[in-house]
Structure 1
Amino acid sequence: MESWLFLLLVLAVAVFGKNTSLIIASLVVMTFKALPMTEKWLPVIQNKGIDWGVTIISVAILIPIATGQISFKDLVSVFRSPAGWIAIACGVAVALLSRYGVAQLAASPQVTIALVLGTICGVVFLHGVAAGPVIASGLTYCIVTLLGLSFK
């Protein structure tokens, strides 16, 4: 019963904050929880969900290559600008931090509640987005803006 109340609270905060992603996520988890075989599928989703999410984000990131919006010429130009190198460094940094973060979650699952609360607050009240590549892009934006650089 406590888990249902917690999920309803998350849903209420998401609705209050008008965050569609969190609303959908809450409803999906509540639906899974209501279905038979919950004890079998929820741990699988918990263990593999981050990998699945990263895969979906990676697909979305690769679409501009498939549509021709990004070409080899664009790739070469990245290596010719300081902003491009900053973007590469931020991508590497976020990937490394994510690796340690996943290990931290496995070693200290109680940290999850604080992370969930912080993520919910950041997404709902500050209109943030919970996504690794977006974090790398945000870091790149901050550094490039501070240094007055551009990608051209």
Structure 2
Amino acid sequence: MVLCKPSAGGIKMESWLFLIGILVVAFLGKNQSLIIAAVVVLILKILPYSQRLFPLIEKQGINWGVTLISITILIPIATGRVGIMDLISAFKSPVGWIAVACGILVSLLSYQGVGFLSASPEVTVALVMGTIIGVVFMNGIAAGPIIASGIAYIIIQLLQIQIK
């Protein structure tokens, strides 16, 4: 089995080493989600048509992930554990209003983040590294790169306003 595919610049070993490094860090940090993600990407990389598959996953993967998370969130409604009365009672407490406000804020930050990542793909590496550090060493969850990019976008916009 050949692990390195020839490219225009010669054999690219760097991506393999980077992914294996992430797998090792995930293993040492005992982070099952990141272990699975790294293994899946490494397996996909071995497939003959991965260079056609990667752009599709890169472009649509976030939508698939958001859809899967949305399905997970809707399951308590489907099972009857959460109903209309729960929604109404949420609006009767400060905690409920804070939760609604945070949901709105996160959706707006995520919107900005997706746009920012599209316009500045070089930021992706730093965001991924920050996410890996947060997941492996701080017991975080890898749900934050898009939100993080939205926060980064807002901070960058604020700094640009102050610089002018």
Matched, 1:131 2:138: no
Code of the aligned partner of 1:89 = A
Match for residue 38 of structure 1 among 29, 39, 50: 50
Matched, 1:64 2:76: yes
Matched, 1:90 2:102: yes
- In the alignment, structure 2 segments of 5+ residues that lack a partner are 1-12, 148-164
- Cα shift readout 1:12-48 (whole Å, capped 9, x = no counterpart): 0000000000000000000111001111000100111
Query: Which residue of the partner structure matches residue 29 of structure 1?
Result: 41
Code of the aligned partner of 1:66 = A
Match for residue 8 of structure 1 among 17, 20, 28: 20
- Cα deviation for residue 63 of structure 1 reads 0.4
- Cα shift readout 1:46-99 (whole Å, capped 9, x = no counterpart): 111011001000100000001110011101101111110100000000000001
Give the number of the structure whose alpha-carbon radius of gyration is greater. 2
TM-score normalised by the chain length of structure 1: 0.85
- In the alignment, structure 1 segments of 5+ residues that lack a partner are 136-152
TM-score normalised by the chain length of structure 2: 0.79
Q: Moved runs in structure 1, 4+ residues, more than 3 A? A: none
Cα RMSD, aligned residues only = 1.0
Query: Which residue of the partner structure matches residue 157 of structure 2?
Result: none
- Alignment length (residue pairs): 133
How many angstroms apart in 2 are the aligned matches of 1:101 and 1:7? 24
- Cα deviation for residue 110 of structure 1 reads 0.5
**Higher RCO structure (Cα 8 Å, ≥6 apart):** 1
Paired residues for 1:98-137 under 5 Å? 98-131=110-143
